[in-house]
Amino acid sequence: MVHASTRQRRALALLSRIRELGIIGFGLLLVVAVTMHSPRFLSFDNFSEIALDVAILLIVAVGQMMVVITGGIDLSVGSGLALSGMIVGMTYKHGAAIHPIIALLMGALIGLILGSVNGVLVSKGKVPPIITTLGTMSMYRGMTFIVSRGAWVNAHEMPASFIGLARGAVLGVPNLILIAALVFVGFWFFMSHSKPGREIYAVGGNSEAARLAGINVDRIKFMVYAVTGLLYGMSAVLWVSRYASAQSDSASGFELSTVAAVVIGGVSTFGGTGRITGVLFGALLLGIIENALNVMQISPFWKLGIEGLVIILAVVLDELIARSVQQSIARVRGAERGDHREISIQALP
Amino acid sequence: MITARSLFRRFLRQWEWTLVLLLVLVFAINSRLSPHFLDLRNLLDSTLHFTEKGIIALSMTLVVISGNIDLSVASTMAMSAAVMGVAYRGGVAMWLAVLLCLATGMCGGLFNGLVITRFKLPAIVVTLGSYSLFRGIAYVLLGNKAITGYPYQFAELGQGYLGQTPVPNQLVIFAVLAVVFGMLLHRTTFGRFIYAMGNNEATCRYSGVPVDRIKLILFTLSGLMSSFAAVLLTSRIYSTRPNIAQGFELEVVTAVVLGGVTITGGSGNMLGVVLSLFLIGFARFGMSLLNIPGQVMTVVIGALLIVAILLPRMLSQIADRAEGQSV
């Protein structure tokens, strides 16, 4: 048995590597195909544009990843982002010239509060994540309208220093990419080398076993939603700064992009597995697809449909790969034990 | 003391009575606040704002009781309405366009069902994907344009009234469908299977219940009802845009959950859902008479969804604690 489980673990590690290689391969293929169609796609300028687009998506997708690993989902990230961004924008509109860093902290704090509401409802209230965040999705969106009374906050109402937050650069590296890289490295370490990070996987893998092992499941669940809130609150400020406007319908549908990045990245929607590197590749692939649509002058209306299709394809592909891996394990095990019974697919750890 | 508490608990379990009480409360408050609320014609007309969602809620009730969820209903509406609009503009007869619309909805639902059953994937994820896919198809078909100018008779369906009475056609259609779905859920083997699946799908499989086939039927039905709602909506507002019915899935799920259907499946009934539809509908109507803006209502509906799940759980916990102390 020890033998088999080692092999199983190896197979699962292989699985996530196959997934990531698959995404990279597909991404490269896409880049080659689009470049052949319109050569200006493969330019430094265009790729830094993609990186800038992906930066904000990646920051929020990291939060979404943690939530999905616990077996939940956060559909409120788009409206939460809009609300946090709008409150910061309104602060500027009303003439408070706060320092951009303070604005960033303020956004993060607002996001933290919004995320904590989800966290409390899911962990203490035992309201299913999909219901909680479907509810807060419309509440936060409605509140964005109420806060702004439907008006926009425009570029001329924001100080130049604030707009420089997302558009500036340190030693030639754009701030946005710098911040996204910091978040990525920080959370890579958090997920793979810290106790609470590992506990997130444990809770998603089997919450009852995690509880019996002495993990405070409620606290972990609360944490992932709260941290996601913090991340989208921070992203909201970067968003408003980058596009130099806060609108009441900002980031609508953004929750789907984050779910897509996470699911393409190989995070299982059953919870318990998934790697942050996969999410990075997922977000990059989405960025490349969206940019390719622009470059090839395909109607932006396709974006929504393609995103949905990609989500479905990714989960179907995952299931098929998992099945074939499972079957080969079953075959090896069967050969060891001398029987050839098929092992059910749901038994995948 | 204990009897009073157990009565209270029984009352809680009889969720429909709570809903009736809330409905009476809404009527009382609204008729005090606005003299126009208790007008029969007004009240009947106000049902037009929720019978389309109500029709989807009927099939959503079955889907949720079976332990699944369909988040793509509003996008299915948009997609099938877009197909109908494009077909009609392309010169297809109206009745054929309507049939195409229904067929599109069924195909959408069948697609969801096939992906969910063939690959053993959670309904939430698959329908979240098609939520975006179907809406995207609607946008691709229509771009940013609206299609109008449907034949005059077509408007009768969604805007007309039953004979000389002030009862809207839509309300009659909804009532008939509610009875049909109620019978299907509560009086047939198929309905019992749905409850059994929601309680324990694995047991059902081992007991020979055709789980996959039932799921396939339920999702196809959900697509069909969504496209039927799309026909009614198009007929009522007399135009098709790719962004119609945005957020309907939220309101439909809210109505189902507020109606006492457990979100994890296995329990709930049709009467509760119908009551909660009227409750939400009349509450909204009251708010609109008071000129409360739509965005505030969105906040209220979102909060209602969460409270609908949170409240019964908290109340029964309190009752439990009180009972524990008195023993």
Q: Do B131 and A308 touch (CB under 8 A)?
A: yes
The C-alpha of B225 sits at a distance from chain A's nearest C-alpha, in angstroms, of 22
Q: To which H or E segment does residue A62 belong?
A: helix A44-69
The C-alpha of B163 sits at a distance from chain A's nearest C-alpha, in angstroms, of 39
Residue B307 has pLDDT above 90, yes or no: no
Cβ atoms of B134 and B79 within 8 Å: the answer is yes
* pLDDT for B77: 97
Residue B270 has pLDDT above 80, yes or no: yes
User: pLDDT digit string (tens) for A89-113?
Assistant: 999 888 777 888 999 999 999 999 9
Beta strands in chain B (DSSP E): 147-148, 239-240
* pLDDT for A11: 67
What is d(CA B193, CA B190) in angstroms, rounded to the nearest whole number? 5
Residue A244 burial by Cβ neighbours in a 10 Å radius (0-12, 13-18, 19+): middle
Hey, of B205, B263, B306, which one would you mutate to test binding to chain A, going by the most A CBs within 10 A of its CB?
Answer: B306
ipTM greater than cut 0.95? no
Torsion angle (degrees, nearest 10) of CA B138, B141, B143, B145: -90
Hey, of A301, A303, A313, which one would you mutate to test binding to chain B, going by the most B CBs within 10 A of its CB?
Answer: A301
Residue A125's beta-bridge partner residues? none
* pLDDT for A308: 87
B-chain CB neighbours of A253 within 8 Å are 132
Cβ atoms of B209 and B197 within 8 Å: the answer is yes
Torsion angle (degrees, nearest 10) of CA B94, B97, B101, B104: 170
What is d(CA A78, CA A332) in angstroms, rounded to the nearest whole number? 46
* pLDDT for A340: 47
Is some CB atom of chain A closer than 8 A to the CB atom of B301?
yes
A-chain CB neighbours of B124 within 8 Å are 73, 130, 269
* pLDDT for B5: 61
Is some CB atom of chain B closer than 8 A to the CB atom of A301?
yes
Q: Do B298 and A139 touch (CB under 8 A)?
A: yes
Question: Is pLDDT larger for residue B271 or for residue A330?
Answer: B271
Mean of pLDDT values over B157-182: 92
Q: Do B250 and A315 touch (CB under 8 A)?
A: no
Name the average pLDDT for chain A.
Answer: 86
Q: Do B143 and A269 touch (CB under 8 A)?
A: no
Spell out the residues 6+ positions from residue B34 whose beta carbon is closer than 8 angstroms to its own: B286, B289, B290
Phi/psi for B239 (5° steps) reads: -160, 165
- Pairs across A and B, CB distance < 8 A: 139
Hey, of B116, B117, B125, which one would you mutate to test binding to chain A, going by the most A CBs within 10 A of its CB?
Answer: B125
- Partner residue opposite A308 with nearest CB, options B136, B293, B309: B136
Of chain B, the percentage scoring pLDDT greater than 70 comes to 95
* pLDDT for B145: 85
Residue A137 burial by Cβ neighbours in a 10 Å radius (0-12, 13-18, 19+): buried
Q: Which residue of A has its CA nearest to B308?
A: A127
Residue B82 has pLDDT above 90, yes or no: yes
List b or e across A45-64, with b for residues whose CB sees 16 or more CB atoms inside 10 angstroms. Answer: ebeeebbbbbbbbbbbbbbb
Q: Do B133 and A131 touch (CB under 8 A)?
A: no
Cβ atoms of B116 and A282 within 8 Å: the answer is no
Mean of pLDDT values over B20-48: 87
The C-alpha of A1 sits at a distance from chain B's nearest C-alpha, in angstroms, of 26
Residue A319 has pLDDT above 70, yes or no: yes
Q: Do B250 and A141 touch (CB under 8 A)?
A: no
For A321, the token pair is: 């790969």
Residue A345 has pLDDT above 50, yes or no: no
CB atoms within 10 A of CB A239: 27
* pLDDT for B305: 84
Residue B14 has pLDDT above 60, yes or no: yes
* pLDDT for B11: 60
Mean of pLDDT values over B44-65: 94
Secondary structure of residue A345 in the 3-state scheme: helix
Q: How crowded is the C-beta side of B69, counted as CA atoms within 13 Å? A: 23
User: pLDDT digit string (tens) for B209-262?
Assistant: 999 999 999 999 999 999 999 999 999 988 999 988 888 888 899 899 889 898
CA angle A296, A298, A301 (to 5 degrees): 150
User: pLDDT digit string (tens) for A133-156?
Assistant: 989 999 999 999 999 887 888 888
* pLDDT for A96: 79
A-chain CB neighbours of B256 within 8 Å are none
Mean of pLDDT values over A223-232: 97
Mean of pLDDT values over A268-274: 85
User: pLDDT digit string (tens) for B178-220?
Assistant: 999 999 999 999 999 999 999 999 999 999 999 999 999 999 9
- Picking from A142, A78, A138, the residue whose alpha carbon sits closest to that of residue A111 is A78
Residue A349 has pLDDT above 50, yes or no: no
Max mean pLDDT among A54-68, A200-214, A267-281, B290-304 falls in: A54-68
Judged by CB atoms within 8 Å, which residues 131-190 of B form the interface with A?
Answer: 131-137, 139-140, 143-144
Long-range (24+ apart) CB contacts under 8 A made by A322-329 are: A322/A15, A322/A348, A325/A11, A325/A12, A325/A14, A325/A15, A328/A11, A329/A4, A329/A7, A329/A8, A329/A11
Confidence of residue A347 (pLDDT cuts 50, 70, 90): very low
User: pLDDT digit string (tens) for A182-191?
Assistant: 999 999 999 9
What is d(CA B141, CA B184) in angstroms, rounded to the nearest whole number? 35
Q: Do B299 and A143 touch (CB under 8 A)?
A: yes
Predicted TM-score of the model (pTM): 0.85
- Partner residue opposite B299 with nearest CB, options A73, A142, A299: A142
CA angle A265, A266, A271 (to 5 degrees): 120
Beta strands in chain A (DSSP E): 169-170, 173-174
Cβ atoms of A305 and B137 within 8 Å: the answer is yes
Per-residue CA distances from B222 to B56, B73, B171, B175, B193 (Å): 7, 7, 19, 17, 17
Phi/psi for A330 (5° steps) reads: -60, -40
* pLDDT for A200: 94
B-chain CB neighbours of A257 within 8 Å are none
Spell out the residues 6+ positions from residue B177 whose beta carbon is closer than 8 angstroms to its own: B55, B58, B225
Widest pairwise Cα distance in chain B: 75
Long-range (24+ apart) CB contacts under 8 A made by B25-34 are: B26/B279, B26/B282, B26/B283, B26/B286, B27/B282, B29/B286, B30/B282, B30/B283, B30/B285, B30/B286, B30/B289, B33/B286, B33/B289, B33/B290, B34/B286, B34/B289, B34/B290
* pLDDT for A70: 95
State CA A230 to chain mean position distance: 13
Beta strands in B130-208 (DSSP E): 147-148
Q: Which residue of B has its CA nearest to A320?
A: B119
* pLDDT for B123: 92
For A203, the token pair is: 């809770």
Name the average pLDDT for chain B.
Answer: 89
* pLDDT for A337: 66
Helix, strand, coil percentages (3-state) for chain A, rounded to 5, are 75, 0, 20
Hey, of B128, B130, B320, which one would you mutate to test binding to chain A, going by the most A CBs within 10 A of its CB?
Answer: B128
The C-alpha of B166 sits at a distance from chain A's nearest C-alpha, in angstroms, of 34
Residue A246's beta-bridge partner residues? A153
Spell out the residues 6+ positions from residue B261 whose beta carbon is closer than 8 angstroms to its own: B61, B64, B65, B267, B268, B269, B272, B273
Q: Are strands B239-240 and B147-148 parallel, antiparallel or unpaired?
A: antiparallel
- Which string of DSSP letters, residue by residue, matches A186-234? HHHHHHHHSHHHHHHHHHHH-HHHHHHTT--HHHHHHHHHHHHHHHHHH
Confidence of residue A338 (pLDDT cuts 50, 70, 90): low
Of chain A, the percentage scoring pLDDT greater than 90 comes to 43
Cβ atoms of A280 and B94 within 8 Å: the answer is no
What is d(CA A93, CA A132) in angstroms, rounded to the nearest whole number? 32
Side chain identity at residue A233, one-letter code:
G
* pLDDT for A8: 63
Confidence of residue A348 (pLDDT cuts 50, 70, 90): very low
Q: To which H or E segment does residue B278 belong?
A: helix B270-289
CB atoms within 10 A of CB B291: 7
